[in-house]
Amino acid sequence: MTHNAKAIMIQGTASNAGKSFLTAGLCRIFKQDGYRTAPFKSQNMALNSYITKDGLEMGRAQVMQAEAAGIDPRVEMNPILLKPTSQVGSQVIVNGEVLGNMSARDYFAYKKQLIPQVEQAFRKLSEDFDIIVIEGAGSPAEINLKGCDIVNMGMAKIAKAPVLLAGDIDRGGVFASLYGTVKLLEEEEQQRIKGFLINKFRGDVEILRPGLKMIEEKTGIPVVGVIPMTPLDLDDEDSLSERLSHKDAQGMIDIAVIRLPHISNFTDFNVFERMEGVSLRYVRHVKELGKPDLIFLPGTKNTMVDLRWMRECGLETAVVRQAEMRTPVVGICGGYQMLGERLEDPEDVEQGGAMRGMGLLNAITVFEPVKTRTQINGCVIREEDVQGSTTGKDVRGYEIHMGRTSNLGRCQETIRLEDGRLDGLCNEAGTVFGTYLHGIFDFGDLAALLVGRLMRKKGMDPGNWHFDPEVHKQQEYDKLADLVRSSLDMDKIYEILEEGITC
């Protein structure tokens, strides 16, 4: 007999209303209560992506939610991923594979053809889990888009899922947002909304109660939770992240990330924000760079365009000058490609043609049309020239790139992958390093070793200083579950889940 999971859906009155956060919280609660639980989002637009164990690409938000649920990420949790390549176009990824690049208009006309893929992915999850927590996107009341919606009420209809509608009270106007969203929906869609969630609340909830009562009377929909504004350290969604606005150096160790226009997978650096005494900041202008202890060049969806941007705004010169003063510079994926002598694009994968690199590594990158997608382990093979050697240290990460970087002769190879390939190069001085591995600092104590090395360089004694990113992450998921459980009427949530929707 086919197993059919119960489903519940979180939609929002706007982007950044907390849908991803609330979805993860419910996933964790249901896991704690003994249910096999999975997240689902039919269509995600993000430059933060992840590679599953079987080499398929999906959005990071559903990876975070899967971690909260205590399960391995599967591509069925995010069957459609849109990775913006410009203001009006995206790379379209379906079931983890690149379908191609489309303009917004072309994708809008095409996406109905993807409904069978969405239905199949949801059905597969439904057969393997007890509960599926579905996340919507943006707002369900975008009246110009509702006709071919596959991610909000359209998805709720496919899944026969009751909906909880979340509003962000911190922005102001939450009651108008909730009421307006409901009234812009069709009657059948309104009937799917079984509860309101007031998110990011500051202050005394007793003062809020008259408003809760009035919105319930005006809509006939109960408020099932008010969630306080509480700082939690979770991987968040793409450019909406407040992390990217961090510009001040306040810790003993100052790490600067170049905020490229097409920055991707900035979650690679989140672990450093979690470390006591470390400040991680994102830099867009030369005047913001200062004299950091470490500079990261992150991944990017457009390596050549973003390198040109760095060149034009003066950041390339500033980073090279810092490297010449032996400030460590680390590039990941696109940032790694920039570090070399030259980038060549003979098949027009990016912009076509060739351009000079930053010249910090004696290497060349040639772009290729086939995307490398692997989740892989390896080990460090290079002896470091300062205390805290990482030689023999196991590493883990995932590759998402279109191009091959080759050593021209004056670089040292640094990582041997389990499939025999070599990844990563560093300069002769050991101060400039590049790798294709995303997530390399999320595993083990590699990040802690790096920070310890920076501390020693500044004359500090790290002593027994240690940080375990996995332990920290699990603690944060439990804090999230505690917050959501204490803020929601969980008896009502389970009642909504059990009753479901029949149409």
- What does the pLDDT look like over 34-82, one tens digit per residue? 999 999 999 999 888 999 999 999 999 999 999 999 999 999 999 999 9
Rg of the chain on CA atoms, in Å? 24
Q: To the nearest 5 percent, what fractions of the chain are helix, strand and coil?
A: 35, 30, 35
Cβ(17)–Cβ(168) below 8 Å: yes
β-strands 404-407, 223-228: how paired?
Answer: unpaired
Average pLDDT of the residues in 485-496 = 97
Q: Provide CATH code, domain 253-459.
A: 3.40.50.880
* 78 vs 105: CA distance, rounded Å: 22
Looking at residue 421, the DSSP 8-state letter turns out to be -
Strand partners, 117: none
- Residue ranges matching CATH 3.40.50.300 in the chain: 6-234+475-499
Cβ(287)–Cβ(326) below 8 Å: no
Is 438 catalytic? The answer is yes
- Residue ranges matching CATH 3.40.50.880 in the chain: 253-459
Angle at 291 (CA atoms; ends 457, 407), nearest 5 degrees: 70
Under the banding of pLDDT at 50, 70 and 90, the label for residue 356 is very high
Among the residue ranges 107-116, 231-240, 327-336, 395-404, the one predicted with the least confidence is 231-240
Measured in whole angstroms, the distance separating CA 378 from the mean position of its chain's CA atoms is 23
As a whole number, the mean pLDDT across the chain is 92
Class of domain 6-234+475-499: alpha beta
Q: Of 333, 401, 411, 426, which residue is the catalytic one?
A: 333
Share of the chain above pLDDT 70, in %: 94
Helix axes 469-487, 60-69, angle to 10 degrees: 80
State whether residue 131 is helix, strand or coil: strand
Residues 6 or more apart whose Cβ sits within 8 Å of residue 252: 277, 278, 455, 458, 460
Backbone angles phi, psi at 232, to 5 degrees: -135, 150
Side-chain-side CA neighbours of residue 211 (13 Å): 17
Is 379 catalytic? The answer is no
Average pLDDT of the residues in 91-96 = 95
**Quick one: pLDDT at residue 386?**
39
Q: Of 27, 262, 401, 438, which residue is the catalytic one?
A: 438
**Quick one: pLDDT at residue 381?**
85
**Above 60 in pLDDT, residue 490?**
yes
pTM: 0.89
